[in-house]
């Protein structure tokens, strides 16, 4: 029989010897690892992805111009990525600025 327990482990050293360490300014529960003294939020995905993951997803989307490409590359669901794209500055609308580029 499997009992569901909320067991958290340190994202840095993998230790389960952690204690709650209050909340950060975003209201997310933070934990302190007693082994490596690492203090961070261990379950950020409850509230969403990190800014780094968002940026990466948008970057991949620009490269591949495909939500499916992002989903395959990063494992982030298409509706989630789509919402980020709508929120972000760039969209599929054509800019009046003429595109020209060389070099790299
Ligand atoms: Zn640790």
* Ligand 1 centroid – CA 38 distance (Å): 5
pLDDT of residue 43: 53
pLDDT of residue 18: 83
For 37: left if phi > 0, alpha if psi spans -120 to 50, otherwise beta; the answer is left
* Ligand 1 centroid – CA 20 distance (Å): 13
Domain boundaries, the chain: 13-46, 51-87
Strands (E), 1-104: 18-23, 29-33, 39-40
- Taking only the tens place, the pLDDT of each residue in 16-31 is 888 888 887 777 777 8
- Taking only the tens place, the pLDDT of each residue in 50-102 is 788 889 999 999 999 899 999 999 888 888 899 888 888 655 444 444 445 55
Distance CA 84, CA 89 (A): 10
* Ligand 1 centroid – CA 14 distance (Å): 6
Average pLDDT over residues 22-49: 70
pLDDT of residue 24: 75
* Ligand 1 centroid – CA 64 distance (Å): 36
pTM: 0.42
* Ligand 1 centroid – CA 39 distance (Å): 8
* Ligand 1 centroid – CA 85 distance (Å): 34
């Amino acid at each position: 029989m499997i009992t569901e327990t909320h067991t958290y482990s340190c994202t840095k050293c993998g230790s389960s010897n952690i204690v709650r360490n209050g909340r950060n300014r975003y209201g997310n529960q933070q934990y302190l690892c007693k082994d490596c003294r690492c203090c961070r939020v261990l379950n950020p995905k409850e509230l969403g992805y990190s800014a780094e993951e968002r940026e990466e997803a948008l970057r991949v989307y620009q490269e591949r111009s495909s939500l499916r490409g992002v989903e395959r590359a990063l494992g982030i669901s298409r509706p989630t990525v789509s919402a980020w794209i709508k929120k972000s500055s760039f969209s599929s609308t054509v800019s009046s600025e003429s595109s020209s580029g060389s070099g790299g």
